[in-house]
Structure 1
């Protein structure tokens, strides 16, 4: 968990020279931020974390409090599958993100380090099957 969420080391920019860029030069892609997707089980149509997922969240809280991650802030993203109305999925994903954030806070992660957001079904993990269980997940993203 720690390695997946750890921000990559970057080089300083001192003594960096910039060459002129031609108009047809390809743009550099921005690397994705370190993240981890967890299949957290919730009761149906509920934000209550099921007991079988509590150990995974306890492990996550320990990882977030490790020396390697202690200085980082994290987004807790709630995701749903495409079943149901989009407004309901958005609300449910937000509630689930808050439930995970609340769990992490109870286990000692500082509230100031966590931002809970709901994504609904807007970013499916499995777009080929919008109703697949892997779409119902919580994603942890290192914001630093």
Structure 2
């Protein structure tokens, strides 16, 4: 988990310089919530505990993270956006309670706009939280 979220070292070379866009390190977690709720289900707590420990590790101790909440396509767009924001805030609050400095955590909702499974917008895997290293 730590290696998935850690930034890669940057190298420079003037000879044969190649510039490549590299996406920020991220991790998608299937965090389960009660239906139509922001309450995190108990079976998701071990993954979040591991995430908090990783965020407090020496390798990630100064990193800042975006917590992106995502929903499936069931329901209206405005409702899903609000629900995804509230779920991201719930994960942020849990990480804070486990000792991660809240100034390192930015929560945002994406609604159903970025499905993990575009072929099935209502699939369970679209209801997730994505953690992105902002360094």
For the superposition of Structure 1 and Structure 2, which TM-score range results when normalised by the shorter chain? over 0.9
- How far does residue 71 in structure 1 lie from its aligned partner after superposition? 1.2
Q: Deviations over 1:84-139 (max 9, x none)?
A: 00000000000000000000000000011000000000000000000000000000
| Greater Cα radius of gyration, structure 1 or 2 | 1
Separation of aligned partners in 1, 2:11 and 2:20: 17
- How far does residue 31 in structure 1 lie from its aligned partner after superposition? 1.1
Separation of aligned partners in 2, 1:29 and 1:91: 35
- How far does residue 29 in structure 1 lie from its aligned partner after superposition? 4.8
Backbone CA RMSD of aligned residues: 1.7
SS at 1:120 equivalent: coil
- Residue in structure 2 matched with residue 140 of structure 1 by the alignment: 131
Separation of aligned partners in 1, 2:128 and 2:8: 24
**Structure 1 residues not aligned, in runs of 5+:** 20-26
Aligned positions of 1:1-144 closer than 5 A? 1-12=1-12, 16=14, 29-144=20-135
| Number of positions where the alignment pairs a residue of Structure 1 with one of Structure 2 | 135
Separation of aligned partners in 2, 1:60 and 1:18: 39
Separation of aligned partners in 2, 1:2 and 1:17: 32
Instruction: Give the TM-score, by structure 2 length.
Output: 0.94
SS at 2:110 equivalent: strand
SS at 1:75 equivalent: strand
The 3 A distance-change label for structure 1 pair 28 and 10 is closer
The ranges of structure 1 where at least 4 consecutive aligned residues each deviate by more than 3 angstroms after the TM superposition are 16-19
**Structure 2 residues not aligned, in runs of 5+:** none
- Residue in structure 2 matched with residue 23 of structure 1 by the alignment: none
